[in-house]
Structure formats: C-alpha cells, structure tokens
C-alpha cells in the first residue's frame, strides 16, 4: 500500500471548475478547495503559450437565460434537450415575431485584433444559425449563416471566415473569425433564420443552443465552460509537461497598452538629431500567446553619436513611491537573424539605465527589478542612445510589457487604456476538522520555490491549517523556510529557520507534529526535530498561500505540485521516503 493511501486529503493540479479545485482524496467533494480571485488572470498552457484563464471571454457560456445575455424579439427556455456534453442542459432560442430574433452579450474585444466566436447549435423547426458582430460595424455587423440541416456554411460577410463541424446527434459547432477594427462593437449576437442570408422570419421559429465561446486568435480552442469567469484555478506549465497550481499575490500592471506599442500612449518622438527614428508596426508576428499580436519596433540613431541623441519608445507616466521595489518584465526577440546580438536599453525617466538586453532569436522574457529613488511620476523607455555602446539600429519584436510594485515578476497582466489589477489567488477549505489530525499528523507539500517575500514584517505562507489562535504553518520569510505551531493559549510550539530556498528549485517538505515528537523533512533529509509537548487543537480550516497569523500575512507566488494531509504522524523513515525527490 502506498503512503498516500493513508492520507486524509490530497490536492493536486487536476480536476477543477469555476470556484473549485477538486481533491483527489476524499473523492466525495468533502475535501474540495474553494478558489477565489474575482479577476481573470494568465497562465502558461500545455503548449507553452501565455493565455487568459479562462480563455473563453464570454460569461455564462451554457446559460442563455442569464442576465449576461439580452434577448431581443426572442425568448430562451433553459435545459430543454441533451447537449453535446451528454447532459440535458441545452437551451431553446425561439422568435417572438418577425423582427430579427436574437440574443446578445456585451464583450471586451480589443481593436485591430483577431477573435473567433463559436457556438454549438442544433436545428429546431428552422435550419439556420446566425453568428455576427465579431469584426467591423458594416451594415449592422459582420455575419455568417450556418445550415444546421445540411451541415454547410451559408453566406459569410466580407472580413470573416466561417466553419461548421458536426459533433454528433444533430449538433454542430459553428465558428466565425475576423479582425476587429480600431473601434470594435464589443457585442456578439446569436440569431436564427428559416433561410440563408435573411435576418427576419415568423413567430415561434426556434433552434437549440449550447456552449458559446469567444477567444483571441483565428481558431476555435477546445470549448471551456464559464460562469462569472473570475475564479478558475490556474494550472500552469511553466516548469515542464506536468502542471503546477499557480498561486500569486495581488499585483497591478501600471503600464497601459501593454502589447499595443503603436498606440499614442507610447511616445515614438526621438530626441536629438532629426534623422533619429522609432517606427512601430502593429501585430507583425506571433507572440508568446500564439496570436499575431506582437509589434515590430525599429529604432535608428540616424548618425547621432552623443548621449543627447535618443531613439526611444516611451510609456505613459505612472506613479511610484520612494523606497518601493518595482519589477519590469517584457518579451523581446530579434526580428531577423541579422539583429541577433544587438543591444537595447531599458530605463526609467531616460537617465536611469536599468537593463541592457541582448536580442535573441526566440522570444525571451526579460526581467529587471529596481527601487524607486523618489515619489512621483515617471515613465518606462526602450531606447538606443548615442555614445553609450548600444547598437546604431535595432529591429525587434516586443510584447507583454509589465511594471508592477514588487520585488519579483508575476504572470502577465494585459492592459489597454488603463492599468489593470489581478487579485490574489485564495484557495482554502473550512469545516474539515475530520480531515486534519487534531493531535498528530503530517502536512506535506511538493512545490517549486518560485519567488520570495522580502518584507521582514510579513509572512508568505505556503500552507496553513487553523486560525489565528490555533494553527500549523509552513511559511517563508525572505528566502528562508520556517515551520510553526501555535495552540489556544498562544504557546509557540516551534518556530525555527531551517533551509535557505533557491528560486526555481523543487522542494518536497513534510512537517510531522505530535506531542513530544515534531519533525521537519525536506527532500529526504531531516532538518529539525522538537520534543515540545504542546499541540494545536480544534483545527478546522486549511489554506494555500494565505493565513490569519500575526500582522496580515501576505500571499507570495507559489507553484504547487501537490498538497497532502495525513491524520496521523508518519514514521521518520516514511517521512524520508515521502520527501525524496
């Protein structure tokens, strides 16, 4: 029998839905973790691409009766027939009169970008599904018709491509793709019709709908169900072929138009001689997102040879606070082989050089952290500057610029006209005293040490069981790992530094507790023991990367491979086996 068979709780980056991370043990739902973030976020997917979580930009993708969908000249009846999921959760869209029956959802499509809108549909008493309004506002919107009887694409308006795919039992997945103009409609419509290339009909005409989706890019991704879109856990593949559960603190990208460097928010006017040049070509190549939305940047000093000669790309101003750490990150790479090895400078306010980065052949995320010297406004610059040893010309691709308050980078936060905040990932479970050993047990975690907390007054908690009065913790302070236990009387059972962590390194950590028999194992090695006789009692809640101890513990960036609770103390030999890499 495996050691894991004796565990009371096992959580891995495995099954999930919106607001929930399923436990492997127990499998009856009593150990499922609650997931709260209340914002979207990004991750690295299994293909190595940066994508939104969730990538489906629509809300309530399977509930067309929800207020997110507005019906016009139509009614929607929920859960009428079995959908492609095998469950009776497909809705009926039915016309009220002859005037363009449809349902609509407001979206947030960015300008000059490619999107794909898809929906599963089945014919009712009429044959045609209409999808529209993904590209430009030409004649009320760009549309495509789909024959749900024959499985053939009908009329397609200019500027769109369309496809239809049979998924069985009379259901089809219909898709349209197109490039938005500079002022997109930010609406998508689903409508019905009795014939091709018409938008009116008779009363009581109907079709069946399920699974609407809007994604960036020119292809329809695997369908992803959404409700509010805000609390889906992030299964991140940054560390290899197996996912880790990505948990991060709240951060704000202070830069606007983070991947739209052609926007006026980014100044291209050079300083110095008139021959200096900065030219931006929008959406010139495929970015690390897998979408053609990376801009090409061309800079030339035009013969300028003094430090007063600048070719620059400068952001809008942002606010910063003296003494605060800030981290800049972005992806950049050479536009062609002749540009590989050229050097471009990143600076703040022009006079503060922070990083000279060398262009490579592949997209590379460059990172630099600095401490603000003064409180006030400043700006970020990419630049060539005369007499500073940089290239005289440089042509490179740029994507995903981010500036955040913090001593390390977090996942990319896309922005347009304003800064954007991604909330902290809070993953917790209450009311599970039966799964936590009350007088003895083991806390085990397998994770990558991906970031550190540099604030000496707060704790970046990795794993926390209990509340402010009674708890068991494994946490990091700076780069150092601690273990901690506390009982009702506020008696500290143990609190000792044991290991200096290395970022990007995998650690298996087991914290065994029992009166007179505490032990801490890391990667197969015993790091600490204690004969303290005290134990916590009445521990009934469990948290990842969050706690309620002391002076407001903070969430730090963590990547969990697995988290396990054992209700009894394992032997030291078992702890060594459990934690061996």
Listing from the earlier edge strand, what are the strands of the sheet with 90-95? 74-81, 90-95, 206-216, 114-123, 171-179, 160-168
Q: What is the pLDDT of residue 19?
A: 94
Q: What is the pLDDT of residue 180?
A: 82
Average pLDDT of the residues in 519-541:
86
Q: Label each residue of 181-195 as H, E or C.
A: CCCCCCEEEEEEECC
Q: What is the pLDDT of residue 475?
A: 73
At 280, list the tokens: 């931006």
Whether the CB-CB separation of 344 and 383 falls below 8 Å is answered with yes
Taking the whole predicted model, whether its pTM rises above 0.85 is answered as yes
Query: Under CATH, to which class is 1-52+232-249+424-581 assigned?
Result: mainly beta
pLDDT in tens, 263-319: 999 999 888 876 899 999 999 999 999 999 999 999 999 888 888 899 999 999 999
The enclosing H or E element of 574 equals helix 572-579
Which is more confidently placed, 28 or 491? 28
| Residue 506 confidence (pLDDT) above 50 | yes
Q: What is the pLDDT of residue 126?
A: 95
Q: Where are the domains of the chain?
A: 1-52+232-249+424-581, 70-216, 252-422
Would you give the DSSP letter of residue 453?
B
| 3-state SS class at 580 | coil
> What's the mean per-residue pLDDT of the chain?
89
Query: Under CATH, to which class is 252-422 assigned?
Result: mainly beta
Which is more confidently placed, 536 or 102? 102
Q: What is the pLDDT of residue 383?
A: 94
Tell me the pLDDT band of 551, cut-offs 50, 70 and 90: very low
Partnered with residue 494 across adjacent β-strands are 485
Q: What is the pLDDT of residue 6?
A: 94
pLDDT in tens, 50-59: 999 999 999 9
Q: What is the pLDDT of residue 457?
A: 44
Angstrom distances, CA of residue 255 to CA of 218, 328, 405: 27, 10, 11
Q: What is the pLDDT of residue 459?
A: 47
Alpha carbon distance 507, 505 (integer Å)? 6
At 399, list the tokens: 């994507």
Q: What is the pLDDT of residue 464?
A: 67
| Residue 571 confidence (pLDDT) above 50 | yes
Which is more confidently placed, 506 or 273? 506
Which is more confidently placed, 558 or 366? 366
pLDDT in tens, 199-258: 877 899 999 999 999 998 888 999 999 999 999 999 999 988 899 999 988 999 999 999
Tell me the pLDDT band of 549, cut-offs 50, 70 and 90: very low
Q: What is the pLDDT of residue 479?
A: 62
Intrachain domains 1-52+232-249+424-581 and 252-422 with the same fold: yes
Q: What is the pLDDT of residue 141?
A: 62
Report which of 179, 180, 188 is spatially closest to residue 59, judged by C-alpha positions.
188
Q: What is the pLDDT of residue 181?
A: 77
| Residue 505 confidence (pLDDT) above 80 | yes
Beta strand 33-36 with 426-429: parallel, antiparallel or unpaired?
antiparallel
Whether the CB-CB separation of 48 and 237 falls below 8 Å is answered with yes
| Residue 495 confidence (pLDDT) above 80 | no
Angstrom distances, CA of residue 113 to CA of 52, 53, 240, 294, 381: 15, 19, 30, 11, 25
| Residue 575 confidence (pLDDT) above 90 | yes
Level-2 CATH architecture, domain 70-216: Sandwich (2.60)
Beta carbons within 8 Å of 370's beta carbon, 6+ residues apart: 325, 326, 328, 348, 352, 354
| Residue 521 confidence (pLDDT) above 90 | yes
Average pLDDT of the residues in 131-147:
74
Report which of 42, 59, 63 is spatially closest to residue 51, judged by C-alpha positions.
42
Q: What is the pLDDT of residue 140?
A: 52
Average pLDDT of the residues in 387-406:
94
Alpha carbon distance 95, 100 (integer Å)? 8
Look at the block and give the residue holding tokens 């550190």. 452
| Residue 454 confidence (pLDDT) above 80 | no
For the chain, the first-to-last Cα distance in angstroms comes to 20
């Amino acid at each position: 029998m495996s050691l894991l068979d004796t565990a009371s709780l096992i959580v891995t980056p495995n099954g999930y839905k919106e607001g929930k991370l399923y436990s492997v043990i127990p499998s009856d739902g009593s150990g499922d973790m609650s997931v709260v973030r209340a914002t979207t976020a990004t991750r690295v997917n299994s293909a190595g691409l940066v994508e939104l979580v969730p990538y489906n930009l629509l809300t309530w993708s399977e509930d067309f009766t929800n207020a997110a969908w507005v019906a016009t000249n139509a009614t929607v009846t929920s859960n009428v027939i079995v959908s492609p999921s095998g469950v009776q959760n497909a809705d009926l869209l039915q016309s009220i009169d002859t005037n363009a029956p449809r349902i609509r959802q407001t979206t947030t499509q960015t300008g000059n970008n490619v999107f794909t809108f898809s929906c599963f549909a089945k014919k009712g008493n009429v044959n045609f599904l209409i999808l529209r309004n993904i590209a430009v506002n030409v004649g009320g919107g760009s549309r495509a018709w789909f024959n749900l009887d024959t499985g053939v694409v009908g009329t397609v308006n200019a500027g769109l491509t369309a496809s239809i795919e049979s998924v069985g039992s009379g259901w089809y997945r219909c898709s349209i793709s197109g490039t938005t103009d500079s002022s997109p409609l930010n609406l998508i419509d689903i409508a019905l019709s009795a014939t091709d290339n018409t938008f009116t009909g008779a009363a009581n005409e109907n079709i069946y709908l399920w699974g609407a989706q809007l994604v960036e890019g020119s292809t329809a991704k695997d369908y992803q169900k959404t409700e509010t879109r805000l609390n889906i856990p992030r299964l991140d593949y940054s560390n290899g072929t197996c996912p880790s559960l990505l948990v991060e603190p709240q951060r704000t990208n202070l830069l606007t138009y983070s991947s739209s460097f052609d926007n006026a928010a980014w100044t291209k006017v050079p300083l110095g001689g008139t021959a200096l040049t900065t030219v931006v070509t929008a959406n010139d190549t495929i970015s690390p997102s897998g979408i053609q939305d990376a801009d090409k940047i061309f800079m030339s000093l035009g013969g300028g040879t003094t430090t007063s000669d600048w070719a620059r790309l400068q952001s809008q101003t942002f606010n910063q606070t003296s003494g605060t750490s800030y981290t800049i990150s972005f992806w950049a790479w050479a536009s062609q082989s002749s540009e590989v090895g050229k050097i471009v400078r990143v600076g703040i306010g022009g006079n503060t050089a922070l990083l000279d980065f060398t262009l490579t052949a592949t997209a590379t995320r460059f990172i630099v952290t600095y401490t603000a010297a003064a409180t006030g406004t400043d700006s970020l610059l990419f630049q060539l500057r005369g007499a500073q040893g940089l290239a005289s010309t440089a042509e490179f691709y740029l994507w995903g610029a981010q500036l955040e308050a913090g001593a390390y980078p977090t996942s990319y936060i896309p922005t347009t006209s304003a800064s954007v905040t991604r909330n902290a990932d809070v993953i917790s479970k209450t009311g599970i005293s039966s799964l936590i050993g009350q007088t003895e047990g083991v806390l085990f975690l397998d994770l990558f040490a991906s970031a550190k907390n540099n604030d000496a007054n707060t704790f970046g908690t990795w794993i926390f069981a209990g509340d402010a009065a009674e708890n068991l913790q494994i946490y990091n302070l700076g780069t150092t790992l601690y273990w901690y236990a506390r009982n009702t009387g506020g008696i500290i059972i143990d609190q000792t530094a044991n290991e200096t962590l290395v970022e990007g390194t995998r650690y298996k950590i087991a914290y065994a507790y029992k009166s007179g028999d505490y032990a801490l194992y890391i990667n197969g090695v015993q790091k600490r023991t204690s004969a303290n006789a005290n134990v916590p009692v009445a521990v009934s809640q469990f948290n990842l990367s969050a706690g309620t101890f002391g002076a407001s513990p903070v969430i730090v960036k963590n990547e969990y491979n697995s988290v396990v609770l054992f209700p009894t103390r394992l032997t030291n030999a078992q702890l060594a086996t459990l934690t061996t890499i």
